[in-house]
Each structure stands twice: as C-alpha cells, then as structure tokens.
C-alpha cells in the first residue's frame, strides 16, 4: 500500500496474497484439492471438456482459498496438466480454451451450490459491518477485527469480499467506535476531570507533567517510592472517574490498554495537536492503568520491605546467638570458680550471703550470670525475642519507609480476617489523621490480631504486674501480618491487578452462564468429560502402573534401578544413562565464517520475518520501514550494544535508528518475527530429527542476567550477581528452537510461568511433552498442563521425597509388600464436589484478561487452602503419581527429560554468547525495555539456529539421496545450537547485497568424502564454543 494512504495498514502484501492470491499448489496439495466428491464429479463431467476442466480448477482453488480467481493459462500450467491427467486422461491441453465471462460466472454459482457457500451481497455486507462494530467494542486493533470478521464469514459460509472493502469497513468501524467513545467521554467529563487531563500536557518547571508521571520507580528506596506515592495521589481522582466511565461505555480491557499504550508512543507535541476529545480518551485510559500499576508497585514494595526487615532481624539474631554462645563458653571458667565458693574452706560458715555474693561478682560480672546460667542449663537462646528486639532498633527505618505506603493504599479481605482488617483500618486512620500511635491510648488498639505465641514479645511488664503494649512492635506486627495475608490471598489490594481478589481473576458470571460454550471454545476434552470418568481413567492407570513397576523391579526386568537392603529395609536408587548431544562440534568447525548481518538477511529472505515489523499507527504512515535499520536495531539491542554504539560501527544515523526502534520494535512485532523464524525452522526437513522419542519435547528454565541500571523488578542474588542486582530470562525451548520467552524477577518462582510460556506460545511448534527442573514444579502445574493437553515431565532434585507423596485408590495397607507404594488414598469425593469450581478456574486460565502466571501464583500458594484449592492439588497429585511411576519404570523417559533440559542449557550458552557486549548486563531503564532487548537476543539466536537447521537439512537430504545411513544417523545426533562459525563482533554492514549466502554451496562441502571423513573422525570429540 502506498505510504501515507488513508486506508488502514492491516495486512502486509504477502498476507494479502495468502488470502487473495492464486493458490500455489505442491503435488500433495493438488492430490487433496483437486479430489472430487461424487456430486462434484457429476457436475464436472456433465459439461463440455473445456468448461468441465475449469470447473474442476475453480473447485480446487475455492476449497483452498474460499475465493474465485481470474487467471490466464500460463499461471495455471501445472494445475491444468494435473487435472487433465487425473480426470480427463484422454484429452490434450491444446483442446482446453479459456471460458468467457458469462461462463465463469455460471461456474462460480455452480461451485457455490456444490460447496454450500454464498456471495457477500449488500445485505451480507451490512450484517458484516454490524458484527464488526460489535467486535470493535471488544478491541479496536484492526488486525483483530479483520481476523474475527474473516472467521465469521467462514463460519457463515460467505465468500469474503475484496480486501479494499474490508480495509474500508474496518476503518469505518474503528473510527466509529472511537467517535462513539469520545462523544460519551465528552458528555461525561466534569470541569475538574477535564482540567486534570489537560494539565497532564502542561509543562512544569523541568518537564511536562505526563512525562514525570510516566516514570517508573527504579528500586525500593524512600525517594523512589515517595515519588510513586505522589503519582498515585495525582491519578486517584482520574482513576475513580475512569473506572465508572470505562464500565458504562463498554470499553474492553484490551481496547483500554491499547489507548493507554498510545500515550507512551506519542510525544507530548503530537498529543497536543490531536483533537482534544481523542487526547483526553488516551490520557484517561493511561491514568486508569497507570494507577493500578502503581498500586501493584506499592504493594510489592510493602512485601519486599517487610521481607527485608525480617531478613535483617534474623541475621542480627543469628549473630547475637553466636556471640552469646561464645561469651558463655568464654566465662565458663569463671562460673566454675563461682561454684567453687560453696566448697571453699576459707569462707567461714557464718559468712553473710552479701559477702559471698560480692566475692562471686568479683569473679563473674552480674550481667553475665543469666547468660552463663542459661548456657549451663541448656536453655535455648530466645531467637524470636532477639528478633523482636531488633525490630525495635529498626523502628525509625520501618516507620519512614512503610508508613507512607501503608497509609496510601486501600485493602479489603475476607470475613475470617476481620481482626487483621480491624487493625489495618485502625492504624491507617491514625496515620492518615497524622496522629502518632505512641500518643494513642493502648486500650483503643485492636488486640485480637496478636497471636498468643507472640504476646510475650509485644507486651512489656511494668511495676504492679501490669503489662504495657509495645506500640512500635505492634505496628510492625500489622505490617508483617498484612504481608502474609497479601501473599496468601486473604487480604487484597483495591484497584490492583496482581493483588486483587482471586475471584476477580476468574471468568465473569455473565460469561460463565454459557459454561458449555466456553468450555467447547477452549478445546480441552478433559474439562468437558464427566469428572467421574476422568477419575476412573486415573484409577485404572495408576493401579496398573503400580503393579507393573513393582513387578519389573522384583523380576529384575527394570535394569536401571538399584535395590539394596539396610537394617531390614529395602532402599532403591535410579540409574541415569547419558543423554548428551554434540553442541558446537566438528560439523560447523570447517565452515566459512558468516557475519551476523549477512546471516540475518539470509534468514529474512527465507522466513519473511521482516514483514512482522508493522508501524505502531494504523494509518497515515509517511514511509515504510527501512529493513537495514530494523536489522541494525535488532543487533544493537540483542547484543546489548545499544543504538548509539551501533550507529558508530554501522554508519547509520542514530536518530533514524531510534525512530525506527520506537515505531517498529515492539514486543508484539518482535514476538511475531520470532514466530516467523520458528515456523520456518519447523518446516525444514531436519527439524523432526530433533524429536525426542518421536515427539516434540520442550523445556523451560531461567537464565540470570545482571542489570547495570536499577529497575523495579531487579533483585539482589549473591549467588549469581554478588553485590549487584539482576533479572531472570525464562525461555521455552522446543527441538532446540526458542519459541517463547519472558523476563521475570529473580524473586519470582519460575513454576508460575511454565504454563504461561506454553499457552502463549503462538508459533507452529507446539510441544507434546514439557520438562523443567525442580524450580518449575509446584502444586498445580501437573494438572494444568494435563488439562490443556501437555504432558509435564519435570526432573526432581529429590525423587525419593516425592515418592513419599504418591497416592492410590485403596488404603495404604493394600500395598504394604511393594517397594514403590502410595502413602494414602486419593480423595475422589473432594474432587467431584469441587469440579464445577475447578472447571471455572481452568476456563479462566484460557482467557487473556489476566496473565496465566498471576492465577497460577495464587493457586500454588501454600498459605491459603480452601476446599477448591485442595481439590485442585489432589488432581495434581494424581497426575504427579502417574508420572513418577513412569519415570521410575522407563529409563528412556529419564533420558528424554535430561536431553530436553540439556537443550535448554545449550540455548542459554548461545543466548549468553549473543548478548556479549557489556559483559551481558542489561543497561536499560525499564522492565518493558528488558523484555524488548531479550526478544531481540532471542531473534538473533533463533536466526542462527534456523541457518544451522537449513544447512543440516540440505546435508541430510544429500546423504539420504546417497543412501548413506551412517551419515544420516550422525546428523540426527548433532545440535543446531552452534555459533563458532558466526561472527558476532566487529563492524556491521547491513546492506542486503553485501554477501548473499549460498546454502547449496555450503552443503556441497559435505559431499566431499575427505571433508566428511574429518567430521566423522572428530565427531567423538566435540569442540566447545
């Protein structure tokens, strides 16, 4: 489409051709699409030969594209010959004439009748536009509207109208929806809210207010959090208005987030030049979502700071305990001399106790007596007492850092948490009214929230046996109990996303009224089947597997388990055969080096990933993206070089690159580009050589990266970063291909993101089995992955401990004689009773209103255990039991799990090699930038792997054609995760004509027997990258 066109830029030219272009069939396609049913065969052969041939062609093309085509005989040459050979073997191509216009129209009507379709006439177009208007209320993303309308046309068996009509229609409904919303907003705005929105674009002393309010906190320092609180106070009235307006206007979550994102994209200058109604809509949505993000940040800060103070108190108590033990042992000799006074003959029997006491104090100071006495009587050191004493010492720091957060936030909770909520409301009322808790009568404090086990640390004894409440310790107790309740989900933050009620994360009551339809749309059979049927299947599988596992151990058929006897008890241990693969071996060692720019151009030509980089705006785009600049930006960010340094070494303009990055390199476009490469890799002949036991077996794991600049999600981790901070890059790797990835904090549990990575993998590579190490396991992942069609296969650090949690369908006494046996009976009744609630939770995981990781985090929390969660965990136990039994019995499964995890580690090494600049440290300002730079690194690694798989495919086909089965087997054992032949350093030239790659010429090297012989000889000693 011409740059600057008024029409929406929805599809690339390639995508338009995919929908509307004449099909380009392979031989297999022709066999499928030109196959005729009996009615079709009758309709074809009832016509003259020329007309019949074109009817057969039009039928095949329509089945493929749901479109009719005008074509010349040259364009359909191969298809025409196929149809003649197959359906008219006695006819010659020279006898086939092109049909006239009336004949073509008649043939089209015949095709429609035979296949049950109809043309999109004026009434159908009107209905289509009405439907598009309803879709636009859910999302104003043009691509979403177009895809939904195309799906509707297909469901209704209507031929899609021409693309320009769809473009114009989508443009109209997008414009109409925005006009509808802006008019509703204009009618609803009050003068105060209007003034606040307009003030966002006014300049302050040093910057525009909106620029200041966009900033995110870098860390948990008082200064950063104080500024975040001030931002919250500004946004609060806007959020209150937006909350009501967005609901009444029917603006979906996705649309609201999209409007909010445009505030981050546009400069203040451009926002000021827009129509005021449009600008105010964008700003209002931004205020709404920024306010909720701030609430999440502040709650996260409360949790982090309380954790930090607890850690300091524990460390101080540990130090004090060690010091006390040292002091006590040091003064034992003096204590012995004190005891000797009682048998000292030099002290007269009538000596006063005061004189003996004076003598004792001369040997051991009075303050040492209690310490040494407790040590001698083996009285345990009161660690908790010292911790609470240290909280008193920390009190000024705690008050300064937590009070301004605590008093700003709003909390709610469940009925059973009423005592804590009373305490929260009481303390917040004091702080908000600027009253000191110390100057408030202790008798007014809610006391029911103080656990009995802590009462002796929160009360101090006074003369007359009265007890006085230590107000500072009471205040910290509320903070600590609040932290516990937030993590457990018993108390939640008002107007939060991450810390809202669990029920708010679930599918709405309105949608759940159509439960059967929702579950069918998800496409997970286990959620539709009666739960009794599912439990019966588990019952039969587990009981049969228990019997088989023990029989094979007793008979010695399982040769990869070692059983020993000690003290009349049998013990067992599993044997793990090696499952390593060559990573950077001799296969790549002799290849000519290739620069990363040339490699990316080669991969772009084969995969079309550059087409994924669409402009952030829908229309009025002044110029198309410059591919050289896009590639330069990807390498700049993916290697951690940065745009400025890349501009220096590539002779490209820094300003132009920064504009390109801002317009085209977004998380969604990078994700789509990675998908394009992954999909192309999956279509190569060598891809399925990497299947593990004839299936796509993926793994996910986290890789730590230090952050040079503080960001809110970065955390200290001495094991990985020393005294610095960092984050974790979690990547899903399937058949060596990194198909999905995300950045998380090192304090977050990797298991919460396992399903998230799998479910939001939009590539064509869909794993059947998935492995993690112990960090990827929790109380729900087995069941969740099972429900959505994945087989979870983790590697446990302590498998013996896990076998202690096996469950069966009979009492444990039934299995007493077996080595591997359940510890208890499964609770089927609980599962059956809670099944409707479990179905709703599973359906909620399939929707996109909240991240899957958020729901999984709440489900896997150990603290809060209601009946539904217990039932969900019980289903997880059934899946885990069956897996552990298979893991013990099947050495091949153990090897497969290890191999899948090894591939993840191999990718980590490649990812580390790609991001080599700045010692691999992130140097970006925000979490969003971390995600983008990580996606760029993944894209470069993905491109390298595609290049290697393309070469392996050519060589594999070469050896297969030669019948060299030994060579084919050697290639099957190679890994495409290799980079020693790729030059990631030096200057960069991103011209497409610089040095085109000839993959056939590279493959020809391997046809040389001498060359191949070197590879075979070196194959047993792989080189390391």
Averaged in consecutive runs of 10 residues, what is the pLDDT profile of the chain (1025 residues)?
Answer: 61 83 89 93 92 94 92 89 92 88 93 94 94 87 88 92 93 91 93 94 80 90 96 95 92 86 86 90 95 96 96 91 72 73 78 80 76 64 86 96 96 82 95 94 92 91 75 96 90 90 87 89 90 96 95 90 82 78 67 90 93 74 78 95 91 92 92 96 95 96 92 84 89 98 93 94 95 95 96 94 92 89 94 95 82 86 76 96 96 95 96 92 91 97 97 92 88 90 82 74 84 75 46
CA distance 899 to 698: 10
Closest CA to 379 of 330, 322, 453, 325: 325
What is the enclosing helix (H) or strand (E) of 264?
A: helix 253-265
CA distance 300 to 483: 9
User: What's the length of the chain?
Assistant: 1025
Backbone angles phi, psi at 484, to 5 degrees: -60, -45
Residue 730's DSSP bridge partners are 702, 742
Residue 925 CB contacts under 8 Å (≥ 6 apart), including other chains: 218, 709, 711
Dihedral sign, Cα of residue 57, residue 60, residue 62, residue 65: negative
CA distance 208 to 200: 7
The Cβ-side half-sphere exposure at 359, using a 13 Å CA radius, reads 15
CA distance 183 to 186: 5
982 neighbors 940 (Cβ within 8 angstroms): no
The domain segmentation of the chain, as residue ranges, is: 13-115, 122-184
Which pLDDT does position 665 carry in this prediction? 94
Q: Report how far apart, in Å, the C-alpha atoms of 698 and of each of 205, 729, 775, 969 are.
A: 54, 16, 16, 22
Which pLDDT does position 1 carry in this prediction? 47
CA distance 630 to 36: 47
Q: Report how far apart, in Å, the C-alpha atoms of 130 and of each of 123, 124, 136, 311, 740 are.
A: 11, 10, 10, 60, 36
| 377 burial type by CB count under 10 A (0-12 exposed, 13-18 middle, 19+ buried) | exposed
| 426 burial type by CB count under 10 A (0-12 exposed, 13-18 middle, 19+ buried) | middle
Dihedral sign, Cα of residue 589, residue 591, residue 594, residue 599: negative
Long-range contacts of 966-972 (CB under 8 A, 24+ apart): 967/1012, 967/1016, 970/1015, 970/1016, 970/1019, 971/587, 971/686, 971/689, 972/689
Long-range contacts of 138-144 (CB under 8 A, 24+ apart): 138/252, 138/254, 138/255, 139/252, 139/254, 139/255, 139/258, 140/174, 140/177, 140/178, 140/255, 140/258, 141/254, 141/258, 142/8, 142/10, 142/170, 142/171, 142/174, 142/618, 143/10, 143/11, 144/254
Q: What's 571's DSSP letter?
A: E
């Amino acid at each position: 489409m011409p740059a600057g066109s008024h029409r929406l830029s929805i599809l690339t030219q390639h995508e338009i051709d995919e929908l509307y272009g004449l099909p380009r069939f392979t031989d297999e396609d022709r066999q499928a699409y030109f196959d005729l049913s009996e009615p079709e065969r009758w309709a074809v052969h009832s016509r003259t030969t020329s007309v019949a041939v074109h009817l057969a062609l039009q039928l095949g093309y329509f089945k493929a594209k749901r479109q009719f085509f005008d074509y010349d005989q040259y364009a359909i040459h191969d298809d025409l010959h196929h149809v003649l050979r197959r359906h008219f073997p006695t006819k010659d191509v020279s006898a086939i004439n092109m049909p006239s216009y009336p004949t073509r129209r008649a043939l089209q009507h015949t095709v429609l009748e035979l296949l049950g379709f109809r043309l999109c006439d004026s009434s159908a177009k009107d209905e289509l536009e009405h439907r598009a208007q309803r879709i636009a209320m859910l999302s104003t993303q043009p691509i979403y509207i177009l895809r939904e309308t195309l799906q509707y046309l297909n469901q209704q068996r209507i031929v899609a109208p021409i693309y320009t009509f769809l473009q114009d229609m989508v443009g109209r409904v997008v414009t109409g929806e925005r006009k509808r919303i802006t008019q509703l907003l204009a009618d609803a705005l009050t003068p105060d809210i209007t003034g606040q929105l307009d003030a966002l674009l006014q300049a302050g002393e040093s910057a525009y207010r909106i620029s200041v309010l966009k900033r995110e906190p870098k860390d948990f320092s008082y200064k950063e959090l104080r500024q975040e609180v001030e931002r919250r106070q500004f946004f609060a009235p806007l959020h209150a208005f937006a909350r009501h307006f967005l609901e009444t206007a029917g603006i979906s979550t996705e649309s609201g987030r999209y409007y909010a994102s445009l505030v981050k994209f546009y400069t203040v200058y451009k926002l000021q030049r827009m129509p005021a109604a449009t600008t105010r809509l964008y700003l209002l949505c931004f205020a709404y979502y920024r306010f909720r993000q701030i609430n999440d940040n502040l709650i996260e800060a409360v949790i982090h700071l309380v954790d930090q103070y607890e850690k300091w108190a524990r460390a101080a108590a540990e130090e004090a305990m060690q010091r006390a033990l040292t002091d006590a042992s040091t003064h034992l000799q003096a204590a012995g001399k004190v005891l000797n006074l009682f048998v000292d003959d030099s002290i007269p029997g009538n000596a006063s106790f005061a004189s003996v006491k004076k003598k004792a104090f001369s040997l051991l100071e009075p303050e040492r007596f209690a310490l040494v006495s407790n040590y001698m009587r083996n009285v345990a050191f009161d660690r908790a007492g010292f911790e609470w004493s240290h909280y008193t010492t920390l009190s000024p720091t705690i008050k300064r850092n937590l009070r301004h957060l605590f008093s700003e936030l709003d909390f709610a909770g469940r009925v059973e948490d009423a005592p804590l909520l009373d305490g929260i409301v009481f303390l917040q009322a004091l702080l908000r009214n600027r009253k000191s808790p110390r100057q408030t009568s202790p008798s007014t404090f809610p006391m029911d929230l103080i656990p009995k086990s802590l009462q002796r640390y929160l009360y101090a004894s006074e003369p007359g046996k009265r007890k006085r409440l230590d107000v500072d310790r009471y205040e910290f107790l509320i903070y600590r109990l609040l932290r516990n309740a937030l993590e457990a989900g018993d108390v939640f933050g008002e107007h939060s996303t991450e810390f809202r009620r669990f029920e708010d994360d679930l599918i709405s009551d309105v949608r759940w009224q159509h439960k059967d339809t929702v579950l069918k749309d998800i496409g997970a059979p286990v959620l539709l089947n009666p739960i009794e049927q599912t439990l019966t299947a588990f019952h039969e599988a587990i009981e049969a597997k228990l019997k088989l596992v023990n029989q094979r151990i007793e008979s010695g058929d399982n040769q990869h388990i070692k059983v020993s006897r000690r003290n009349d008890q049998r013990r067992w241990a599993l044997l793990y055969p090696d499952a390593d693969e060559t990573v950077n071996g001799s296969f790549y060692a002799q290849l000519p080096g290739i620069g990363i720019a040339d490699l990316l151009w080669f991969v772009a030509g084969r995969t079309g990933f550059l087409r994924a980089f669409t402009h952030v705006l829908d229309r009025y785009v002044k110029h198309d993206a410059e591919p050289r600049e896009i590639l330069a930006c990807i390498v700049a960010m993916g290697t951690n070089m940065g745009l400025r340094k890349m501009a220096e070494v590539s002779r490209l303009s820094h300003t132009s690159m920064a504009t390109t990055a801002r317009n085209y390199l977004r998380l969604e476009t990078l994700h789509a580009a990675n998908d394009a490469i992954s999909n192309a890799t999956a279509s190569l002949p060598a891809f399925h050589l990497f299947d593990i036991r004839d299936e796509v077996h993926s793994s996910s794991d986290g890789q730590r990266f230090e952050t040079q600049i503080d960001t809110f999600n970065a955390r200290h981790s001495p094991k990985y970063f020393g005294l610095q901070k960092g984050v974790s890059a979690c990547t899903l790797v399937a058949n060596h291909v990194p198909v999905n990835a995300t950045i998380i904090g090192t304090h977050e549990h990797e298991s919460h993101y396992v399903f998230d990575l799998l479910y939001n993998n939009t590539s064509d590579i869909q794993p059947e089995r998935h492995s993690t190490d112990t960090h990827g396991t929790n109380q729900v992942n087995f069941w969740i992955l099972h429900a959505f069609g994945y087989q979870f296969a983790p590697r446990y650090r302590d498998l013996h401990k896990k076998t202690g949690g096996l469950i069966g369908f009979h009492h444990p006494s039934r299995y007493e004689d077996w080595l591997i046996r359940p510890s208890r009976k499964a609770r089927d009744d609980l599962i059956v009773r809670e099944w409707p609630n479990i179905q709703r939770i599973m359906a909620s995981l399939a929707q996109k209103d909240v991240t899957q990781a958020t729901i999984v985090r709440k489900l896997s929390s150990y603290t809060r255990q209601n009946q539904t969660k217990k039932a969900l965990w019980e289903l997880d136990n059934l899946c885990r039991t069956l897996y552990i039994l298979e893991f013990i019995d099947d050495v091949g499964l153990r090897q497969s799990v290890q191999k899948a995890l090894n591939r993840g580690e191999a990718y980590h090494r490649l990812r580390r090699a790609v991001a080599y600049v700045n010692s691999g440290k992130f140097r970006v300002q925000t979490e969003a930038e971390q995600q983008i730079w990580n996606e760029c690194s993944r894209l470069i690694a993905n491109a390298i792997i595609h290049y290697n798989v393309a070469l392996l495919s050519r060589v594999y086909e070469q050896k297969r054609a030669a019948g060299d089965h030994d060579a084919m087997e050697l290639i099957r054992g190679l890994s495409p995760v290799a980079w020693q032949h790729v030059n990631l350093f030096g200057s960069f030239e991103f011209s497409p004509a610089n040095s085109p790659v000839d993959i056939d010429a590279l493959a020809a090297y391997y046809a040389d027997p001498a060359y191949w012989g070197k590879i075979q000889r070196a194959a047993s000693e792989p080189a390391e990258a």
